[in-house]
Structure formats: structure tokens, C-alpha cells
Amino acid sequence: MRRRLGAVAAFVLGLAAWMAPVAPEATVRAGSDEGCVASDALLFGGDANIPPTKRKAMLAWLQEKRYLEGYVAEPAVHPSSGPHGGNVRTFFNTILAEDLRAGRTSFRKGAAMVKELYFGSTDTVRGYAVMVKVKKKAGASGQGWLFMESFNGTQADFYGRGIGLCADCHSAGTDFLLSEFRP
């Protein structure tokens, strides 16, 4: 319980960081284990459409804006209806887009979403939230999903499989997907 409260505090702090003149370092990192046991090559066969699951590689991939290649984007930047800090825009990878078009309600391994966090602006990406399905089944607590959120785009404030804070809220969605956008 104490850990959970700490995680919530860090989440709120992280959201507040963009408003503060000096961003406080988020000190709590939920799920500090590397997200996946197997390498990306073993997991996904090196598919460039799937974000790398290791923390540093994922952040580098985001900074290079690799999700702009082959992802389906929400039509515009819009205010988040969740606690994701101001304005957002979500991108779906090919596996997820195909699954949604086929009417699947449980997505295949490799399905991924990248959410750009704009906070108060509508033209400057400040951070990211990412989900990657790393197992065939999500499981009740979302262990099949890798969650990552970075409020400054360079450091992972949250990173891990089935992080309670993320998964509890996202479990209300279609296989943990909450955005109502459909490609």
C-alpha cells in the first residue's frame, strides 16, 4: 500500500513537473526491472514497427520519432481525458491497427501504442507514454503489457510490466486500450 501511494505521488509530481520552473526529479520508479526477459529479437524478430522493450533503447527510439514510420495517428492533438497531463496524441502500430480493424478484443503480441504528451502546448512534444504487449494474454493485472511513461522524454518515470498504477485504470479498456480512436 505504501509503495502504491509512493507511485501515485510520483505520478502526480511528474505531471506537475512541467509547470514548475525547475522540474523535480521523480524519485520513485515503479517496476524497475527490465520489462522483458527475452531480447527483442527473440520476442518480436526485430520488427522495426514494435518499440524496443529495453528502457534506454525505447527512449532512444522515441527521440528518433521512429513511431512516425508506419503508425496510425489520432487525427489531432487533443486534451487527455485521463491523468496524462494536458494535450496528447496517440499512435497505434500496425499489429494493433490490424487487430482493431479485424474486430479483435485481445491484441496480438507486439501490439503497441505511443502517446505523445504535449502538456500545455499543442506543438511541442514534452514526454511519452508507451504500452507494448509482450505476452499473448494480458492477464487480469496487465502483466502481459509493458508500460512506460516519461515526463521529460529522456528519463523513464514509470517502466515495467503490469505496473499497478497504470494497469488498474487501463483494465477498464479493450485489452487495456483506453483511447476511443479506431483506425
Residues contributing to the site for ligand HEC (CB under 6 A): 80-84, 88, 90, 113, 115, 129-131, 147-149, 158, 163, 165-166, 169-170, 173, 177-179
Instruction: Report in angstroms how near the CB of residue 148 gets to ligand HEC at its nearest.
Output: 6
Beta carbon of residue 38, minimum distance to ligand HEC (angstroms, whole number): 21
| Smallest separation, CB 138 to ligand HEC (Å) | 12
Residues 10, 150: Cα–Cα separation, whole Å: 12
Of the candidates 127, 144, 164, 129, which has an alpha carbon nearest to the alpha carbon of residue 6? 164
Q: Are 176 and 170 in contact (CB under 8 A)?
A: yes
Q: Toward ligand HEC, which CB reaches closer, 12 or 60?
A: 12
Classify the C-alpha dihedral 167-169-175-180 as positive or negative.
negative
Q: Distances from the Cα of 175 to the Cαs of 38, 48, 70, 125, 160, in angstroms?
A: 22, 23, 22, 26, 17
Q: C-beta of 80: minimal distance to ligand HEC in Å?
A: 3
Q: Name the residue nearer to ligand HEC (CB basis): 42 or 172.
A: 172
Task: Encode burial over 122-135: b for 16+ CB neighbours within 10 A, e otherwise.
Answer: eeebbbbbbbbbbe
Q: Give me the residue whose beta carbon is nearest to ligand HEC.
A: 82
| Closest separation in Å from C-beta 20 to ligand HEC | 19
